[in-house]
Every structure is written in C-alpha cells, then in structure tokens.
Amino acid sequence: MGGHRVAITGASGRMGGELLAAAADDDAAEFVLAVSRTPEAVASGDAPNAPDAVVADSDLEAALADYDVDVLVDFTVPEASVEYLRAAATNGVAVVVGTTGYDDADLATLDAVAESVPFLRASNFSRGVAALRRAVRSAVGALPGYDIEVTETHHNGKLDAPSGTALTILDDIDEARGDDAKRVHGREGDQPREGDEIGVHARRAGDVTGEHEIILAGNEEVIELTHRAGSRGIFAAGALDAATWLVGRDPGRYDFDAVLDADRDAGDTGASQ
Ligand code: NAD
C-alpha cells in the first residue's frame, strides 16, 4: 500500500459510507482516517483498505497531524464542514469538498481556506452532471429567449433546497445568458411567468439519489435535459479521483472539470465495461 494519505469526515453519513466502500477499490490512495461526530456509528469493519483509525471530530486537528494526512474529503453539513476545513488548512492538508448548502459567511471561510491549501469543491462529483452542465450551457446559448425551468428531486432526508447542483446549473444558465435572472422557487396562486425568470422546483421523496431536469421551451418546441444518478458510488469515486489529482498541487482553488480532463487524457472515462 502506498500513495497519498486520505481522511474523510462525516464517515457515518450516506456519502461517508459510500467513500468507505469506494476506498476499497482505490489503489492510488492510502485510507488512513475516518472522522465522525459519532465514531461508534462508523461502519468501517474489516473492509480492504479500511481506515487505520476512526476518531471523533473533536480530535480531528490532532489526528490530521498524527496520521500525516495529505488530503481531507468532506461530505457533511456546512456548520461542521467549515470547522473541519479550518483544521485542514491549519495543518496544510488539501481539501476536497462535496458538502452543499453553505451561506455567504461559510463561503468566506472557504475562500480563506482555499488561499492556504489546495482546494477543490464541487456540488456534484459525477461525470454525467459535468456533461449535463456543458449541454445546458450549449442549449441556453443556442436558444435565446426560451423559457427555462429547473427541477430537482432528492431523497426525503436531504437538508438543503434547492440542491447545490441545481444552484450550480442556475449559475451556468446565468453565465450562458449573460444575465442574472430572477429565480422563482415554486409557484402558487396568481403567478404568471414574467420575462426571463427561471422557475426552480425541489421535490423530496423516498430514496431518490438525485435527479436534475432542465427544460427550455419556445413556441411549439420543448427541449428536456435530464440527469439521474443511479447510486451515490459515482459521487464517491469522483471525489476520490479529485483527491488523488489534488495532492501536491499549489494552494488555490481547483475545478472538478480539470480532474475529468486529466482522466480523459489518460483514457479513463468512468464508462461501465
Ligand atoms: P448525511 O446526512 O447522510 O450525512 C451527513 C454527515 O454529517 C453524517 O456523518 C453526520 O453525522 C454529519 N453531521 C451532520 N450534522 C453534523 C454536525 N452538526 N456536526 C458534525 N457532523 C454532522 O448526508 P449525505 O447524504 O451523506 O450528504 C452530505 C453532504 O454531501 C450534503 O451537503 C449533500 O448535499 C452533499 N452531497 C454532495 C454530493 C456531491 O457530489 N458533491 C453528492 C451527494 C451529497
């Protein structure tokens, strides 16, 4: 076993479990530390490449140094995440962030972290969503004046709405249109559509991993672009790829697209065999 040394926070969560499982297939990394506010609930077991240690989040800062961690992968909640990322920055540990739902004060903290260590945040670590975003930018650019609505669906335990991915796609649409459109979240009562507004709809139901649908409608035609995640494993694999790519880079902000570009150049497209 060799390679860079990875820690994950939120190890008892849905994504934490996926990262623990994905780490077993990750030859590039040595998986040294799983961190949770409830370490007793972390199901690391005797899996191949199980973490060397499972520790309480109150011990994170000391553990990052003790276990000589190179990169921290964080999928938690904003209030915990900002503290975890501060601890990583203090220890010179690179960070890959999948957490969503930050407010402006949190984002200022993330900016400060990104000044001191290599930092890669993505609201979605799937290759398919990266491709969807490109398709959306292209369609929006080609179809000025079309009405646009964004709908996302997630499991009933999701905290933030709309999803981080939906917000990223909305930013993409603004960029492609060169404006800052009014976002209308759901509609009720007398609320006819106005000009360039973008409707945003968040559905929460069952165990849906994540779906994002963008419709563009002109007169007499509708274009629908949809991504459906089949499992959380795609996000975990993408985040671990990002961790491998990030270690050893200069402090600063990096984009998941750069990781995917490097994978494509190396012939690894993530396609099923
Ligand atoms: P989850 O609720 O299953 O897990 C959250 C984890 O955070 C748990 O380990 C929980 O113990 C911990 N936690 C919650 N509150 C805490 C607190 N106050 N202090 C310390 N720890 C706390 O959630 P999840 O489905 O694993 O999602 C986690 C985050 O990742 C969410 O923000 C979600 O939107 C995001 N996510 C991102 C992607 C992506 O590709 N970027 C994909 C899936 C989920």
**Active-site residue, selected from the candidate residues 155, 158, 201, 212:** 158
Query: Which of 15, 58, 127 best tests ligand 1's pocket when mutated (most atoms within 8 Å of CB)?
Result: 15
Could you identify the atom of ligand 1 that is nearest to the CA of residue 76? 7
Are residues 68 and 194 located together in one domain of the fold? Answer: no
Give yes or no: residues 29 and 101 share one domain: yes
Q: Say what the pLDDT of residue 44 is.
A: 63
User: What does the pLDDT look like over 82-111, one tens digit per residue?
Assistant: 999 999 999 999 999 999 999 999 999 999
Residue 99 sits in the same domain as residue 32: yes
> Of ligand 1's atoms, which has the minimum distance to the CA of residue 57?
20
Of ligand 1's atoms, which has the minimum distance to the CA of residue 124?
Answer: 40
pLDDT at 153 over 90: yes
Q: How far is the CA of 77 from the centre of ligand 1 (A)?
A: 5
pLDDT tens column, 169-206 = 999 999 999 999 999 999 999 999 998 999 999 999 99
Instruction: Let me know if residue 273 belongs to a domain.
Output: no
In this predicted structure, what is the pLDDT of residue 25? 81
1 pLDDT more than 60: no
In tens, the pLDDT along 22-75 reads 988 888 889 999 999 999 988 766 666 789 999 999 999 999 999 999 999 999
12 CB less than 6 Å from ligand 1? yes
**95 and 137 both lie in a single domain:** no
Asked if the structure places residue 239 within a domain, the reply is yes
- Alpha carbon nearest to ligand 1 atom 1, residue: 13
Task: Specify whether 34 is located in the same domain as 118.
Answer: yes
Domain that holds residue 28: 4-125+232-260
| pLDDT at 269 > cutoff 80 | no
Is 227 noted as a catalytic residue in this protein? no
Q: How confident is the model at residue 125 (pLDDT cuts 50, 70, 90)?
A: very high
Are residues 195 and 157 part of one domain? yes
The strand pair at 252-254 and 118-121 is best described as: parallel
Q: Is the CB of 75 under 6 A from ligand 1?
A: yes
Contact indicator for 169, 204 with CB cutoff of 8 Å: no
Looking at the structure, tell me whether residues 240 and 214 fall in a common domain: no
Give me the CATH number covering residue 237.
Answer: 3.40.50.720
> Are 83 and 9 contacting, i.e. CB atoms less than 8 angstroms apart?
no
Cβ atoms 57, 37 nearer than 8 A: yes
pLDDT at 49: 72
Q: How many domains does the chain have?
A: 2
Instruction: Note whether residue 86 is domain-resident.
Output: yes
In a shared domain, residues 120 and 236: yes
In a shared domain, residues 29 and 119: yes
Closest C-alpha residue for ligand 1 atom 40: 124
Domain assignment of residue 270, yes or no? no
pLDDT digits (tens, 9 = 90+) for 235-255: 999 999 999 999 999 999 999
Tell how far the Cα of 63 is from the centroid of ligand 1, in angstroms: 21
Regarding the beta carbon of 9 and ligand 1, being less than 6 Å apart is answered no
Residue 11 predicted with pLDDT over 70: yes
| pLDDT tier, 266 (very low <50, low <70, confident <90, very high otherwise) | confident
Q: Which residues contact 162 (CB under 8 A, 6 or more apart)?
A: 150, 152, 170, 185, 200, 201, 202
Active site includes 154?
yes
Is the model's pLDDT at 144 over the cut of 60? yes
- Ligand 1: which residue has its CA nearest to atom 2? 13
Q: What's the N-to-C CA distance of the chain in angstroms?
A: 26
Strand 118-121, strand 94-97: pairing: parallel
Q: Same domain for 93 and 149?
A: no
Whether residue 53 is found in the same domain as residue 152: no
Q: What is the pTM of this model?
A: 0.94
